[in-house]
Amino acid sequence: MFRKILLMQAFIKKEFIVSKRYLVNSLGGVITLYVIFLLMFGGYQGLRSLAGVGGGTMEGLVAGYVLWLFMLTTYQDAWYTLRTEAQQGTLEQLYMSVHSFGWVMGAKVVAGFFFNLLLVAVLLGAALLTTGVTLNIDLLSLGPVLIGTLLGSWAIGFAIGGITLVLKRIDSYTQMVQFLLIALVAAPAGRVLWMRLLPCSFGSALISRIMVDGMNLTQIGMGDLLLVYGIGLVHLGLGCGIYKLCERKAMLQGTLGHY
């Protein structure tokens, strides 16, 4: 267990060093994401559907934007790491680690979660200041639901990452996932039962109840929370399964670490 903790610390340190070393690029990413929100706030109709997560209100727009941002960065953590390691020719070295590859990717994803949390907190503050709206930021209620919701975006990330190992260059398609995530956030899973089976959708509806409607975890109920985790774990299992199939194919072709 001590080795696992050191692995986690190493990835957190790496995230900090990379962000600091390429500070201009990191700030550029934050500015870009804030500009996207300004376009939404100004009425950019192409992304306005995010407001559907809160019934079309400005509070719903802010809550939907923040959740979409968290899902986007979480999804990218998985597939972008795999693509970058393959590009740099270091992917096979991760497989030769004293830790299993699953532990390595798990540590990377968790380390990325904490940095994404800081990014989302900054942009949430900026969005609230820009719009003047108030949201219910109940961390004790949001935390468990958010983690269960993000299982779906991790699943998508691992599935896309696995496909990247085989096809190598699919950047033009991965850009479409951003809009897929918008649809998942905006899906009325609270009213349409079958939409609860979609990745992240039911969790998005519960997060809207907390942030926009002011509900807490007790009012939501343990049944709905367990359903979010059940759906998320099924999706995560499917995503990891797709990754393992693609990983095996890349190994058989001898192209695992090639780009």
Contact 236, 151 (CB under 8 A): yes
Task: Please compute the mean of the pLDDT values over residues 148-155 and round it to a whole number.
Answer: 92
In this prediction, residue 151 carries a pLDDT of: 93
Whether residue 53 is predicted with pLDDT greater than 70 in this model: the reply is no
Confidence of residue 257 (pLDDT cuts 50, 70, 90): low
Give the start-to-end residue ranges of the domains of the chain. Answer: 2-253
Q: How far is CA 60 from CA 106, 166, 187, 197, 205, in A?
A: 31, 39, 13, 22, 11
Q: Which residues contact 143 (CB under 8 A, 6 or more apart)?
A: none
Contact 108, 18 (CB under 8 A): no
In this prediction, residue 227 carries a pLDDT of: 94
Cα gap 259→28, rounded to integer Å = 27
pTM of the model: 0.85
Whether residue 142 is predicted with pLDDT greater than 50 in this model: the reply is yes
Whether residue 146 is predicted with pLDDT greater than 90 in this model: the reply is yes
